[in-house]
Amino acid sequence: MDNPSKSIRDLSLRLLSVEASARSKTDPHEAIAVCEKLRESLTRLAGAEGFSSLMRRALSLARSEFPVLETVQILPDGRLDGFGDLVEKKGDRAAAALVSNFLSLLVTFIGEPMTIRLVHENWPQLKPDRKP
């Protein structure tokens, strides 16, 4: 798979930014919030295993660029475990890589229109004219 496109990387950064601005100090990292919203939506469409498969692949791709992600695991229900431990070391760039790879895989498997629809269902404050 190719690296995520610039538009996908930009969209990932926008999603992380939206979640970061809504986050309190006690909330989990914004990448966890983004992944959790996507997990809830995609589990309804593809089941927990479908979501987990995509997340495992996205994590594997992101690990090739950010080995610090080796500590992150995907739980059976698709939730991320161990991400909070690495936030102090390259967490923001690693988070962007994880989310970008996930969205890129999503575009590959369900198409751009459905991915955009899914993003805007979860983040209605984003303008719909921005496409991956």
- Which residue is listed with tokens 């996908």? 8
In angstroms, the CA 71 to CA 82 distance is 6
Q: What pLDDT, on the 0 to 100 scale, is given for residue 125?
A: 87
pLDDT tens track for 11-65: 999 999 999 888 777 777 888 899 999 999 999 888 889 999 999 999 999 999 9
List C-alpha distances in Å: 30 to 1, 16, 109, 127.
25, 6, 24, 20
Determine phi and psi for 115, rounding to 5 degrees: -65, -45
Residue by residue, DSSP assigns 77-99 as TS-EES-GGGTTTTHHHHHHHHH
* SS3 annotation, 49-71: HHHHHHHHHHHHHHHHHCHHHHH
In angstroms, the CA 21 to CA 10 distance is 16
pLDDT tens track for 58-103: 999 999 999 989 989 999 888 988 877 666 555 688 889 999 999 9
Q: What pLDDT, on the 0 to 100 scale, is given for residue 88?
A: 57
Degrees to nearest 5, angle at CA 57 with 119 and 33: 40
